[in-house]
Chains A and B, each alone.
Chain A
Amino acid sequence: MAIEVRIPTILRTYTGGAKAVEGSGSTLAELFTDLDTRHAGIRDRIVDADKGDQLRRFVNVYLNDEDVRFLDGIETKVGDGDSITILPAVAGGALEKRMA
């Protein structure tokens, strides 16, 4: 089951420079765990182990362009053919903070 994951510049050190990689899983949490088996360390940059493995505050994740914070966050269901975009929230993500 392939899910496309678009990687921001800042995280491409984990993907050998690749702008997009593929992964699998039925939720975002599973997908990020799967990615980490091939791109060691990337999961820790996206989820915060100290905050119950929620998305890091300054990271935005989109499922087919929809902000997952308005869906089910890290537990959002994903499936074959979906596209995930990971983006850093620039300049402190003031908007995200208010939206959370």
Chain B
Amino acid sequence: MRYDAPIAAVGNTPLVRLPRLSPSADVRIWAKLEDRNPTGSVKDRPALHMVEQAEKDGRLTPGCTILEPTSGNTGISLAMAARLKGYRMVCVMPENTSQERRDLLGMWGAEIVPSPAAGGSNTAVRVAKELAERNPDWVMLYQYGNPDNAGAHYATTGPEILADLPSVTHFVAGLGTTGTLMGVGRYLREKKPDVKIVAAEPRYDDLVYGLRNLDEGFVPELYDASVLTTRYSVGSADAVTRTRELLRQEGIFAGVSTGAALHAALGVGKKAVAASESADIVFVVADGGWKYLSTGVYTAATTEEAIETLQGQLWA
């Protein structure tokens, strides 16, 4: 495939069947490889779309400063788009985020404003909103409430999946900003009313609950429960186990939140097998494992040790 510029190469990612992890010949699991985007994550889609829509309606003009609360991927995508398009980029990020993410953001020229670790992304959102008030000329694209976030997936990810796999029965993705689930969910439901939209939500152990406390009550403005068919809550141990299975059995090197999505995909797959139904289950590989290598979950000798290394850490 040929593109006129690197930034034009966002999307059109491969959809691959997982022959070893699919539960049966009739119940098939498919991975949408969003790590194949220019900066290595699914967030290139909403980031670019939000920037281009803001340019179109005149909110973003040459020389503008873009501000965004982000724990990583969206910031990295926006920073890349900002550099190529000539904007200044400021990210508000929890102070306990990994060094890799800081380096990646810095590499693309973003400035980082740290927010307190307690409260995670919820606190980052609050700090960003305060910064936006003090700097009225800065443009906050605000992925949690920007309809163009879900709009990117409605316009691209959804149609790509349906074109590649008209028999799709389930779509599974992580529940963060909810943009992927809302956008793909709405598109697929319009074309195939019976399609099941499944959210995979991270579940942390007791140790992390203190850290997460403030995060729990946060509901992104984009969220619309009616789009979802069901919701899975996936613990750290299952997320790590699936991440390693995906690597070992199918050769796909993905981030830990992808393991959580795979766990939910296998959960709905198991139910389809039990009900003697056939199914084509698509789940999203949101990013590769590179940014999480330092956690040790890939290199630990056993899955038990890998689970141990992730104890008490946020992974999605």
Contacts and interface: CB of A to CB of B under 8 A. Distances in A.
A8 B232 CA distance: 17
A70 B264 CA distance: 14
B219 interface: yes
A65 B206 CA distance: 17
A64 interface: yes
Interface of B: 203, 206, 209, 212-214, 216-219, 223, 225, 228-235, 238, 263-264, 267, 270
A65 B267 contact: yes
Contact of A90 (B213, B228, B229, B234): B213
B238 A94 contact: no
A98 B223 contact: yes
Contacts of B229: 70
A60 B218 CA distance: 16
A66 B232 contact: yes
B217 A91 contact: yes
Residue in B216, B238, B267 with the greatest tally of chain A CB atoms within 10 Å: B216
A25 to B, nearest CB: 19
Contacts of A8: 206
Interface string A35-74: 0000000000000000000000000101011110011000
- Most A CB contacts (10 A, CB to CB) among B212, B218, B225 go to B225
A93 to B, nearest CB: 7
Given A65-B267, A66-B267, A91-B217, A85 B225 contact: no
A93 B215 CA distance: 11
